[in-house]
Structure 1
Amino acid sequence: MEWVGALRYSLALLALLPIVNAAFYRIRPQSTGVLVNQTVTLYCAFNGLTPSEVVNWYWYNPETDDKLYHISARGRVASEFSRHSIVGSSRRGEYNLRIRDVQPGDEGNYRCSVFTVRDAGDARLTVVGIRVA
């Protein structure tokens, strides 16, 4: 009868394995504002990433364009985003997006996501211009 208890315990542990090994946000991107010509970093980090999972950054501005732009995958930034870079330690699951010399056209929604994490949220970047009186 003792083996039945051990079997139940083992089955319970096996049922939890997919949950324990699933990727999840440690730091979710947060909406922020930045002055024109400054540098901004949007933070994003995951726990539980497997080597096969790819972290992606996307951008779109719902007020000007309905197109979704793919900024980066696996820490590599697409060539058309020359002022953007991925900073942080991929070993620690950090995939922070840094944008240098921010311009008004950079305003919009940014998403850091992994295919296996369904609850990806957007962070709104607001660009504030400097007015000279």
Structure 2
Amino acid sequence: STGIADAARETGSYVSVYTLAEADGETQTGFGFSIGRDPSELDPAIAAADAADRATRLLGASKPGSERLTVVFDPWVTAQFLGIVGHTLTGEAVLKGRSMFADRLGDVVANPMITLVDDATDPAAFTA
């Protein structure tokens, strides 16, 4: 452990775990986390188990051939993707013209089956 870093007051907390797995001279890394509104809601054991699973399931993996396929993203990958896109949807980014969506208010920009809502006043939303 590198200790605890405390940098801001929020209504949410998280714990993250990084692991390293090794077999037959090959190493892989994994990442796991647990979130909650209060530190008492965190589960470091689940975070560690997820990190270990991610690292060990990559051991011995090989790169697949090039092919056009339907892809189903892991929830963590989906969250990372939404995090990247999400920054372009902030009010500040739109207001300053730093968003690819700045001039698209009211336009359909994704599949109609997808709805993203960021409501800081929703008490059920994490860190609201």
> TM-score with structure 2 length normalisation?
0.24
**Of Structure 1 and Structure 2, which has the larger fraction of its residues in helix?**
2
Q: Which has the higher contact order (CA 8 A, sep 6+)?
A: 1
**Of Structure 1 and Structure 2, which has the larger fraction of its residues in strand?**
1
> TM-score with structure 1 length normalisation?
0.23
